[in-house]
Amino acid sequence: MADRSAIALNSVTMSYSDNTLFRDVSLQLAPGSFHFLTGPSGAGKTTLIKLCYGELQPTEGRVTLFDEDTGHMDRDAIARLRRRIGVVHQDCRFIDHLSVAENVLLPVTVSGGNVEAARTDMSELMNWVGLNALSDHRPPELSGGERQRAALARAVILSPDIILADEPTGNVDWEMSLKILGLLIELNLLGKTVLCATHDMSLIRQAKTRVSTRVLRLRDGAVELAGAEL
């Protein structure tokens, strides 16, 4: 049975101590859609992204991934579900003593997949993100943009249904931002659901010229659909 929604938040409230980040938020991301999530710093974009891959549990409400309630899942079940979700963070985290190629292969390794086959096919993937020449380097040797692209390669190696990108262009120049955006758009055109948190309106405007996107704005503890002002 096809998933009715890739990600759904139902009446979700998220609080840290006495600070409520957002209250009673509901949203659904349809399979194959491209959403931007924007809002001022501290509005809760990263928290919402983390809710979307089960890293955090809501204070109230329900988060469902592929129609499964994350509140009723144990850590291992969430881990298995994450293999259908590719995540790219602003501060891309890697295992520094492994090579870039080994880091990119990690999702295959931990899921018990065919690492040798994936290694054979990896050249195409590394070419796609423009890192073929850096496969044997260690992550600390990469620039910010290269790290983002390596993280994107790692996020898509299992061909996940959803790509979650949290400020993927936060640490890179405009040219690199456009490259990363281009990769996200390519993935969306392949049918992947994309949710990209960013505060860069230029990037959003650029994306809108190339692909159908919706923009969600987190403001004053609520999520609203941004209008034509963009």
Which residues in this chain contact another protein in the complex, by CB under 8 A?
A: 55, 75-76, 79-83, 87, 89, 93-98, 102-103, 106-107, 109-111, 115, 154, 158
Provide, rounded to whole angstroms, the least separation between the CB of residue 71 and another protein.
14
Nearer to another protein, 35 or 82 (CB): 82
Nearer to another protein, 167 or 200 (CB): 167
Nearer to another protein, 45 or 217 (CB): 45
Provide, rounded to whole angstroms, the least separation between the CB of residue 112 and another protein.
8
Nearer to another protein, 195 or 215 (CB): 195
Output the CA–CA distances (angstroms, integers) from residue 7 to 19, 70, 181, in the order listed. Answer: 25, 11, 21
The C-alpha atoms of residue 164 and residue 170 are separated, in whole angstroms, by 14
Provide, rounded to whole angstroms, the least separation between the CB of residue 75 and another protein.
6
Kindly state the tokens that stand for 9. 């938040």
Kindly state the tokens that stand for 176. 């690199």
Output the CA–CA distances (angstroms, integers) from residue 97 to 49, 51, 113, 141, in the order listed. Answer: 27, 29, 22, 11
Kindly state the tokens that stand for 122. 């990896």
Nearer to another protein, 34 or 94 (CB): 94
The C-alpha atoms of residue 181 and residue 168 are separated, in whole angstroms, by 9
The C-alpha atoms of residue 164 and residue 207 are separated, in whole angstroms, by 16
Provide, rounded to whole angstroms, the least separation between the CB of residue 219 and another protein.
28
Provide, rounded to whole angstroms, the least separation between the CB of residue 167 and another protein.
16
